[in-house]
Each structure stands twice: as structure tokens, then as C-alpha cells.
Amino acid sequence: LIITKIIEEAKDAASIAAAKQTDDKKEIKDESAKKDAVIAAGIALRAMAKDGKFTAKNNEEKSAHAVNGAAASAVGKTLSTLIIAIRNTVDTGLKTISDALATVTQEDKSAEATTPADTTASGQQ
């Protein structure tokens, strides 16, 4: 419960990094914190890399597998976060378009029909 509260109330990347995840269903609610989470994931990947390769202890095969697994997990979670952010942005945009289209009505032009010649003549006056 305390961890859930920390994640939900997170305002920056440090708060998110300090929170332990106990349930895969927890979401970050604050928009700025979501952006910080993506940035923090990038920083974490950068920190694990050295000379373009993920760091691991020399001559330890298990260490290399652990680092690669952590990197793959971080990349997967980052991509999931980005996909959710993109979907939310697209949904918001589509809702805005839908709302705008709902206000557009077809006016009855039959009573006020004008010919192209009338329109041209009135525009030149």
C-alpha cells in the first residue's frame, strides 16, 4: 500500500526510482512523472553501458546474462510506456476531432441557393 502511494504521487524520476514495484499493475498517474519515467529509463540504460557495451564483471558468464536480462527488461518497459503515451495522445486527438465534427451541421442551402455567377458578381462589388 505504501509503495502504491509512492508511485501514484511521484512527481519526479527520483521518486519513481526509489519506489519498489510489487505489482505489475501499478501506473504512474502524474503526466510529468510519466515523462520523467521515460527519461529515467534512458538514463538507466546509459548508466549500464560502457563503451557501447553493457557492463559486466570480467570472466563471469552469469553476470553478462543478468545485465542483458536487465537491459532487455528496461527496454521492454520503456517501450510499453511509450506505446501507452502514444495511444493516449492519439485517443485525445481523435476525441477532439470527433467533438469538433459533432458540432458541424449541414445547413439547408436549397432556400438560399446561389449560382456561381451571383457569387462572382457579388465578390467584385
What are the mean pLDDT values of the chain's consecutive 10-residue runs (125 residues total)?
55 57 56 67 65 62 71 80 88 90 67 54 52
Q: How far apart are CA 16 and CA 5, in angstroms?
A: 11
pLDDT of residue 95: 92
pLDDT of residue 1: 44
pLDDT of residue 115: 55
Q: How far apart are CA 117 and CA 125, in angstroms?
A: 13
- Whole-number Cα distances in Å, 55 to 28, 40, 43: 29, 18, 14
pLDDT of residue 90: 92
Structural element, H or E, at residue 50: strand 49-50
